[in-house]
Amino acid sequence: MPLRLLKYGLSRDYPVSGDIPATPELKPAYDVVIIGGGGHGLSCAHHLAKYHGIRSVAVLEKGYLAGGNTARNTTTIRSNYITPEGIAFYKEGVELFERLSQELDFNVMFSQRGQLTLAHTEATMRSFHMRAEMGKHMGTRTEVVDQKGVEELCPLLNMDYGGALEILGGLWHADGGTARHDAVAWGYAAQASRRGVEIHQRTEVQGFEVVGDRIRAVKTNRGRIACGQVLIATGGMNYDVALMAGVELPIRCYPLQAMVTQPLKPWLHTLVSSVSLHTYLVQSSRGEVVIGGGSDPYQLYSTRSTLDMKEHLAEGAVHLFPFLQGVRLLRQWAGITDMTPDYSPIMGASPLANLWLDCGWGTWGFKATPVAGKRMAQTIADGRVPDILKPFALERFETFRLLNEMGATAASH
């Protein structure tokens, strides 16, 4: 064995410790208890430890790390929403993704290849003009392109000239992109645990001890933990977990299904989405074509897949790119999405003084993993909701100040 290697083998740097330590014993108390070890909870933990010096933090995850919707999403990252409040927030999210690999010292494979959303009707074109103007006003790269523009951006598309689904134009969002979902969660987890955050896998929150307007302790399958502040970031389980604390959120759960094809040579260089076909496609860096995202048409707590939805997605994909018809599907799956009435998240305070919400992420929350974690950490550290989050408060439903992003969400996620 070469001497240099032997020296390294005997040195203190060897063996390299794992990025994410094994689950430790639970302590009796933590300053902050984060419920949910998905991207959002881990991002908040990282920001608390790194930027606010709060290290007595436990992330409680009932299953394995980031095995919820973080593991199931189709990784669309974008800020081409329609409300100014929404665009401002998601824009900050995209900017954080642009620097994320450096921030985490971990390759999250962010690829800012742009997103092309297609219009097959004049009504959709009109809504695109509105979104483009709002986007430009808010400083994002969002513009309407005509048929020629669509063909240039995505030459392999079936334009269906003269057909019932002729592509009339598109919304081109050069800021849009994708990243490796697992890497985002692992990167945050590694950074957070390096700074002392404890990540407890297989630790399920089963109830709360509420005294007056505060949560005194969190009850888990591994024992009771006293807590300073508590954050709920449990993805599809947000309604259930908040209800355990007596907080009823305006959320309904629907399964969202997606699938991927076998790996192909690189041919799809942008994210493509069709509003009318309710289908979107992105080619992963491995070459697989990820096809999403069909919401089941009724409420359900289930992650089963259905043939109906797979047929629907396959039909949309083959319509847009007819040469995909012989391609095999590799995997299919579903996640339970926590849908809000206005397709915007619920972030900020709850009716309990030390319980904070990072909920209602529905079908669109992966792109917000960095920014929601950053801003929720700031909220918890300061005990005060920053301006950028105020519009997303739970009270907006009581004051009828909804943030309607349905049209800018339905087919694009």
Partner 1 sequence: MKLLTCPMNGPRNIDEFQSFGPVRARPDPNATADREWSRHLFRAENRRGVVVEWWRHVPSNYFFLAERDLVSNEIIRTFDASEPRDRA
Ligand X SMILES: Cc1cc2nc3c(=O)[nH]c(=O)nc-3n(C[C@H](O)[C@H](O)[C@H](O)COP(=O)(O)OP(=O)(O)OC[C@H]3O[C@@H](n4cnc5c(N)ncnc54)[C@H](O)[C@@H]3O)c2cc1C
Q: Which token pair is 285?
A: 């860096």
Question: In residues, how long is the chain?
Answer: 413
Q: What is the distance between the alpha carbons of residues 82 and 409, in angstroms, rounded to a whole number?
A: 9
DSSP H helices in 169-261:
181-194, 238-244
- The site partner of 74 among ligand X, partner 1, none (C-beta below 5 to 8 Å per kind) is ligand X
Q: Kindly list the residues in this chain that would bind ligand X in the complex (CB under 6 A).
A: 35-41, 60-63, 66-70, 72-76, 204-205, 233-237, 241, 256, 258, 292-293, 335, 337, 361, 363-367, 413
From the list partner 1, ligand X, none, partner contacted by residue 177 (C-beta under 5 to 8 A by kind): none
Nearer to partner 1, 141 or 252 (CB): 252
Interface with partner 1, residue 262, by CB under 8 A: no
CB of 363 to partner 1, least distance (A): 16
Q: Please state, in angstroms and rounded to a whole number, the distance separating the CA atoms of residues 339 and 357.
A: 14
* Residue 167 near residue 120 (C-beta atoms within 8 A): yes
- 239 near partner 1, rule: CB under 8 A: yes
316 binds, among ligand X, partner 1, none (CB under 5 to 8 A by kind): none
Distance CA 190, CA 192 (A): 6
As a whole number of angstroms, the distance between CA 218 and CA 237 comes to 16
Interacting stretch for partner 1, rule CB under 8 A, among 150-158, 183-191, 292-300, 381-389? 292-300
Provide the sign of the torsion angle of the four alpha carbons 409, 379, 238, 45, taken in this order.
Answer: positive
Tokens encoding 313: 């997605």
Helices 39-52 and 369-382 pack at an angle, to 10 degrees, of 50
Query: Rounded to an integer, what distance in angstroms lies between the CA atom of residue 203 and that of residue 221?
Result: 6
> What is the distance between the alpha carbons of residues 389 and 1, in angstroms, rounded to a whole number?
58
> Which of these, 325, 329, 326, lies nearest to 315 by C-alpha position?
325
Cα–Cα distance list, 130 to 68, 86, 143 (Å): 34, 14, 10
User: Is the four-CA dihedral 300, 304, 309, 313 of positive or negative sign?
Assistant: positive
Smallest distance from the beta carbon of 389 to partner 1, in angstroms? Answer: 19
* Residue 252 makes contact with partner 1 by CB under 8 A: yes
Judged by beta carbon, residue 381 or residue 410, the one nearer partner 1 is 410
CB-wise, 54 or 179, nearer to ligand X? 179
Answer with the entry of partner 1, ligand X, none that 205 interacts with (C-beta below 5 to 8 A by kind).
Answer: ligand X
Choose among partner 1, ligand X, none what residue 349 binds, the Cβ cut-off being 5 to 8 Å by kind.
none
The stretch near partner 1 (CB under 8 A) out of 45-53, 73-81, 146-154, 291-299 is: 291-299
> Of 206 and 262, which has the nearer Cβ to partner 1?
206
**Separation CA 89–CA 80 (nearest Å):** 11
Taking CB under 8 A as the criterion, the residue among 13, 25, 387, 398 binding partner 1 is 398
Contact pick of 211, 298, 328, 387 for partner 1 (by CB under 8 A): 298
Name which of 152 and 395 has its Cβ closer to partner 1: 395
Nearest approach, Cβ of 396 to partner 1 (angstroms)? 9
Query: Which does residue 308 bind out of ligand X, partner 1, none, counting CB within 5 to 8 angstroms by kind?
Result: partner 1
Q: Which residues bind partner 1 (CB under 8 A)?
A: 239-240, 243, 248, 250-253, 297-302, 306-308, 341, 397-400
